Amino acid sequence: MTLYHYIHSTLHDAIAEKYPEIDQSRIQVHYQISPVNKTYICTAVPRVIMSALSNKQNCNTIAHELVTCINPDPAFINPDIFIKDGFINFQVSQSYSHAILSLQPVYNLKLLCGSICDTDFMMKLKRLLNYADSVWPESVPIHNDQDLLLNQTETAIITLIAFTEFTNRESTQSFIINRLVSLLKRYYLEVPTFTKDAATSSVRIRVITHACAALYHQIRNAQPAQQ
């Protein structure tokens, strides 16, 4: 099960329990990166329910009612779900983050090179990706260590990678592409990839390579729309 399927099914179960009068086939549940905290994925489904109810309720009240039905599974989300302005905000768990990083990323270096305009940054990134390809996966272990993903930009990148499961809309693809490039540049410049600690270095290599893989898939998927 993916993060998308977990959150989507959990929300639908909560709606069915608290608002059985709602015909769920008639409502749209959309997701976005939280405008309050970029390391959360949020939905405005309480606002949708509010507009569908005959006895109007405050959207935050509806959000609280739904959240009481959610028992966060640490395999997917952290327990600190928060509500603001009718949005329910979920944070990707460490376990799911490590599940993402444990996979071997797939990307096309040539397509990436042609899509990032900053030549100097792309050349540095290319050297790192070539190195990662040469040592993957045996020399780049991943450990389920809760202390390895502490950097805010790391968490934002993982959140954005997970968010790619939630949408295939053209407008969202453009947002993800621009956001991933921005986060990759910030992360590469701010955080030393190679450190004295092998476990930390391996996680940072994986964060960058998986961000590149997500970027590649978004660029590839957007290409037909651009032709």
Amino acid at 61: T
Length of the chain, please? 227
Which residue segments constitute the domains of the chain, with CATH numbers given?
Answer: 3-91 (3.30.1360.70), 97-226 (1.10.730)
Please say whether the beta carbons of 115 and 219 come within 8 A: yes
| CA dist list (Å): 146 to 75, 105, 156, 157 | 13, 22, 16, 17
pLDDT for the residue 103: 83
DSSP state of 1: -
Averaged over successive runs of 10 residues, the pLDDT of the chain (227 residues) comes to 94 95 89 94 94 85 96 95 96 91 84 77 84 68 62 91 83 86 89 82 87 89 59
pLDDT for the residue 139: 58
pLDDT for the residue 220: 83
pLDDT for the residue 191: 86
pLDDT for the residue 226: 44
Q: What is the pTM of this model?
A: 0.87
Contacts of residue 133, defined as CB under 8 A and 6 or more positions apart, other chains included, come to none
pLDDT for the residue 225: 47
Here the tokens at position 194 are 């190679």
3-class DSSP state of 151: coil
Here the tokens at position 13 are 């179960």
**Which DSSP string do the residues of 113-146 spell out, in sequence order?**
HHH---HHHHHHHHHHHHHHHHHTTTTS-----T
